[in-house]
Amino acid sequence: MGLLDQFVFKAAEHPWEFEAIHALNYKTFVEEIPQHDSNLDKKLVDKLHQGNTYIICVNEEEQKLAGMIAFRDKRPFSLDQKLENLDSYLPVGRSLCEIRLLAVEEKFRYSRISQELIASLVQHAIDCGHDLAVISGTLRQIKLYKYLGFVTFGPLVGTEGAQYQPMYLTLEAYSELKTRSRSFSKETPELANDDRMAFNFLPGPVDFSKQVQEVYNDNPCSHRGDVFVRDFQKVRTLLCTQTNAEQVEILMGSGTLANDAIAGQLALLCKPGLILVSGEFGRRLVKNANGAKLFFQTLEIPEGQSFQRLEIERALKETPDIEWVWGTHCETSTGVLNDLEMYKEICAGHGIKLCMDCISSLGTVPVDLGGVYFASGTSGKGLASISGLSMVFHNHDLQPAPDFLPCALDLGIYQAAVGIPYTIQSNLIYALLAALSSHDWEQRFEDVRSWSRIIRRKLAEIDVPILAPDSCAMPAVVTIVLPEIHSSETIGDTLKEHGVLISYRSSYLLERNWIQACMMGVERRPPEKFVRLLKKQLTR
């Protein structure tokens, strides 16, 4: 895990955060830069503290502050007191704010924290409607400020031991920097994930690691080559190890294709089944089953709820000829995580085959597929690779059925060909191999749980209704039910304009006036900006 992965950038709000700010303020502007007198408390409360908004870099779990910067949009500014006729140096007709008190703990000074703090604060200023920011730039950071688009003006201010250069930043200069960053990321895609201006809370496409991007950009190779075949089998082994499944078949296509392949296998049984429906993706399983002409019944519960043991047991008792059950592990549309272990116990007790859609749970929460008949997955969500591969896990041998199934859906053909019956894109396989090999998955699951705790708490603080209760919440998906007076499409479009990408354009979300924030990729995007912008939209 990288250095910054343990921190989030956010606005200070808790008492311990302000205490840490005062301590770092003292350490920086008393002990290091002799700008103020020392005191026994070793804390420095800024003289303009009451009007400041502090953007901080913090580890919330450990309550550690790594850096801070302050924002102010009420006059007088600190620079007003240092430089007479401040406005005479500045472009006219602007909405003005001030950036102050940039301070970073010494051990983090050679990281991107200073740059990220400034970028986060500038975006906050833009969100507040300002298009010009002034700063008293410490001489040791002049190079960084100029790189970020700041322009020097006026004479040096301050004292002999603590001199500062007045500077300003226009919205146009900041926008040009973002444009250059995006252009550079396209030309050098391996650096694309270092652009933190956009916050990706989509269920896909997801953020992925530098290693994934690098191997995806390599020249493709033959799917029949000895080296590729060896590495392909390594991918299968890693997938099975992670899920406790005995075997897996990898297909070229989306998760829907994997579910169609499962429906094909169920059709070979010629036995009736039960499909569990609690949202959009349960209903899609019904479509998969109808397409394969399966015999089945459905058990449906209200959206936002998880299935309970008694409901399933009652349905099986009422229909004793059921031979298979098919449901979603994570019902992505509602943000509900169903109890996989309970499903396995029920089906084992009745001698019933269990099939699961694990497309959104795989890679975001622990998934144990031991004893499951079939389960679907995909490369482009929680596994944090590039979309284009799907997979079907199983714990029994399969036989080809060319007289009954289309070739591309016949999992028996895949197993007979040791996984590679047809052309498969090598770059997608190597990207998935890089994703599977480069992550500490236990830490990954903890990161998702931590993100879930933080975003759900912050949404509760602003009284935003979350569809799934804590008791059955999927950590990687938060579905928000908006009041009727607000439009999910309008809010989604507005957040997108401010660099926050959420899920809202799917037809089922638009119909219900829902929006979603997800953590599927490798980047732990802090939710503070999303929550702040959402609150602003809901209070209009």
Instruction: Name the nearest CA neighbour of 73 among 46, 100, 91.
Output: 100
Residue that finishes a domain, picked among 145, 168, 193: 193
| CA 100 to chain centroid | 30
**Both 127 and 50 in a single domain?**
yes
**Both 433 and 499 in a single domain?**
no
Residue that finishes a domain, picked among 438, 456, 490: 438
CA dihedral over 302, 306, 310, 311, signed as positive or negative? positive
**Both 451 and 433 in a single domain?**
no
User: Which residues, given as ranges, of the chain have pLDDT below 50?
Assistant: 1-2, 182-197
**Both 275 and 369 in a single domain?**
yes
CATH number, residue 59: 3.40.630.30
Evaluate if pTM is beyond 0.75. Answer: no
**Both 371 and 267 in a single domain?**
yes
Residue-level pLDDT at 187 = 40
**Both 115 and 56 in a single domain?**
yes
CATH number, residue 462: 3.90.1150.10
Distance CA 386, CA 425 (A): 12
Distance CA 380, CA 198 (A): 19
- For the chain, what is the domain count? 3
DSSP readout, 291-345? HTT--EEEEE--TT----HHHHHHHHHH-TT--EEEEESEETTTTEE--HHHHHH
Distance CA 196, CA 508 (A): 29
Residue-level pLDDT at 195 = 34
Backbone conformation region of residue 304, classed left if phi is above 0, alpha if psi is from -120 to 50, else beta: left
Distance CA 285, CA 374 (A): 13
Cβ contacts of 242 within 8 Å, gap of 6 or more: 367, 436, 441
**Both 465 and 427 in a single domain?**
no
Instruction: Name the nearest CA neighbour of 77 among 45, 55, 53, 99.
Output: 99
Residue that finishes a domain, picked among 373, 404, 438: 438
Which tokens in the block code for residue 171?
Answer: 């919205």
**Both 433 and 452 in a single domain?**
no
**Both 431 and 506 in a single domain?**
no
Cβ contacts of 194 within 8 Å, gap of 6 or more: 112, 185
Residue-level pLDDT at 198 = 59
Q: Is 257 helix (H, G, I), strand (E, B) or coil?
A: helix
Report pLDDT digits (tens) over 372-402: 999 999 999 999 999 999 999 999 999 999 9
DSSP readout, 121-167? HHHHHHHTT--EEEEEEEGGGHHHHHHTT-EE-S--EEETTEEEEEE
The 10 Å Cβ neighbour count of residue 463 is 8
Distance CA 245, CA 239 (A): 8
Angle at 50 between CA 35 and CA 454, to 5 degrees: 105
Range of the domain at 520: 199-203+447-538
Residue-level pLDDT at 524 = 67
**Both 428 and 365 in a single domain?**
yes
**Both 261 and 189 in a single domain?**
no
**Both 451 and 417 in a single domain?**
no
CATH number, residue 386: 3.40.640.10
Residue-level pLDDT at 258 = 97
Residue-level pLDDT at 181 = 53
